[in-house]
Amino acid sequence: MEGYDGYVFGCPTYHRDMTPGMKNFLFLAEKLNLVGKIGGAFGAYTHSGESAPMLFDTMEFVFKMDMTDLKALSLKEAVIETGEGLKAAQDYGRALAEKFPQ
């Protein structure tokens, strides 16, 4: 997983938390030097949406990454496949791409 200029991590919300698999992944990712790398976080949810902001905060404050100004992209499951969901994902991707040097 090393050698990239940026990383985007995603996780659904499961019982108002990140999934156990994502937590394990983050413990492994913490061993990499991600300081200053460009980052973004996204997640989907049905009832609550805590996962994406928790993931974003971990990347920003623990890993010390250069995170997008849009914060976390958290989409309700019913919105994902709509025009609104597609536009939100495109806007998020565009904002991340703009952080990379031209």
Helix intervals (H) in 1-102: 20-29, 51-57, 83-98
Length of the chain: 102
CA separation for the pair 102, 100 (Å, rounded)? 6
- Which residue ranges of the chain lie beneath pLDDT 70? none
pLDDT of residue 102: 81
pTM reported for the whole predicted model: 0.92
pLDDT of residue 1: 85
User: What contacts 100, CB < 8 A, 6 or more positions away?
Assistant: 5, 6, 38
Domains recognised in the chain with CATH numbers: 6-27+35-98 (3.40.50.360)
What are the backbone dihedrals phi and psi of residue 8, each rounded to the nearest 5 degrees, phi first?
A: -125, 120
pLDDT of residue 79: 92
